[in-house]
Amino acid sequence: MPSSRKKLVSRKSAARKPAQSKGRKTAPKSKAIIRPDLLLESAKVVLFSYRYGGAQNHGFSYVSPQAKAVVGVAAAALMKSADALRLHPDDVERYNARVLGAMAKGEDVNAQIRVMLSSSEVHWVQLSAWRQSKKNRVSIYSGVVLDIDAHKLAEAETLNTLDRMEQAQDIAKLGWYDMNVQDRVIDLTSEFADNLGLPFAPGGRVTGVQADKYREAFLNAIHPEDRERYMSIISDPTWRRTEFDYRVLTRSNEVRHLCSRIQRTTDKNGNRVRDFAVILDITERKRMEEDLRAQAATDPLTGVPNRRSFETTARREVERARRYAKPFSVLALDIDHFKRVNDTYGHDIGDIVLKGVSRICLEKLRVTDILARLGGEEFAMLLPETDIDAATNLAERLRYAIESNPIVTAKGALPVTVSLGVAQYAPNEPTIEAALKRADEAMYEAKRSGRNKIVVAKLPSLVRAVS
């Protein structure tokens, strides 16, 4: 039977023995010694033992020396009386419920509470304890107290930042979605679903077949006139970041304007993997832009188009007339003796007269006809698909309607008359200006020949008076 004794080596043999056998690594000369007590001392951690035998029989049986730095009370004072722990007044009830209440039930302890390091300095600590044994109705707990004040401060700042982001998101009506194309997973916000009038997925995530259905519902929500453009942008493999506007139809059939800003991730082969998109509701902005465009194209006093808008519309009508060989005519209208109205009654009454003449003209014109104020008391009318005879008849109806309906003002009903020039656009004229000039010249001829009448411009330059 082999002996269990270790073989001893004499000092001489040991002295002759080489320091290292061939092929063996040299042992390190010194080893770093880990000192748990030093680590514990440098960390903001308190170890403790606690005995709990009832509401009147409990307290610390051991507290590590770090207690003063972590909870503001010396370890000896805590072991003398647990009441030495200075709790924040608002956390006393929480301590009694989550710490002492848990011990009374024999449960593990886990609580975040505030302690008073001084009269003005408050720190958050995490107190955790686990029951080790129970004897004679006394439970023995081992636990740890961690200083989590920095963590709580960062948590509060994070929550504050998130709260501000949510407020900004709510104000801006901002939503987002994160779509993993290959795994068929979509994370989204309720704002994104609301913008489209789609049901919000529980937890903000849809996967597999549900993700496919959600994508289909999203595409169906896009306005039919914008769907093809949207699909061409999304399917373009060349971009990595893009931004574009489009319209959607909600479930209530309301048109909303959205702006998508999308960041795309691809694999090494350039295949689309992930789209992260921020969706901004720009409906109000679009409405404001439309209002501004309307204001820029509208006479602020009468509400009818201004000269710039009239010329733009007239150019389009010229193109249409030349393409389809359709006639159209223009009328030039000027209020007779308007300066006398301003000088006699004031500009406020003059403004009422201008608005009254505009209103009568709009009542007599067709929906397709365009009335514009060119400036002062001068107006122009564009009459699509109207030849010279029909335009002359309309001009006479306008002249008679204005003459027959005095404008009601604060100074009484004022009789008003107008002079009109009529011209038909000639197909060989490259622009509308030539027809407008002939109508304008005809209108001035009506004023020179007595006012309250119509003059029709002949092609190219002959005119005739119509009573």
Phi, psi of 119 (to 5 degrees): -65, -20
Q: Which helix (H) or strand (E) holds 380?
A: strand 378-384
Listed in sequence order, the residues at least 6 apart from 157 whose beta carbon sits closer than 8 Å to its beta carbon are none
Measured in residues, the chain has a length of: 467
Tokens at 224, concatenated: 């039919």
| 377 noted as active-site residue | yes
Across-strand partners of 331? 381, 422
Q: Closest Cα partner for 424 from 379, 467, 457?
A: 457
Strand-pair category, 205-207 with 328-335: unpaired
Could you give the C-alpha distances from 435 to 22, 369, 399, 424, 442, in angstroms and in order? 112, 16, 21, 7, 11
From 41, 377, 385, 396, active-site residue:
377
Could you give the C-alpha distances from 87 to 52, 69, 93, 115, in angstroms and in order? 19, 15, 10, 4
Q: Which value, to the nearest 10 degrees, does the dihedral of the CA atoms of residues 295, 300, 303, 307 take?
A: -80
SS (H, E, C) 400-467: HHHHHCCEEECCEEECCCEEEEEEECCCCCCCCHHHHHHHHHHHHHHHHCCCCCEEEECCCCCEEEEC
Cα separation of 93 and 87, whole Å?
10
- The answer to whether the beta carbons of residues 73 and 79 sit under 8 Å apart is no
Cα separation of 138 and 61, whole Å?
12
Cα separation of 220 and 212, whole Å?
12
Which residues are part of the catalytic machinery? 377
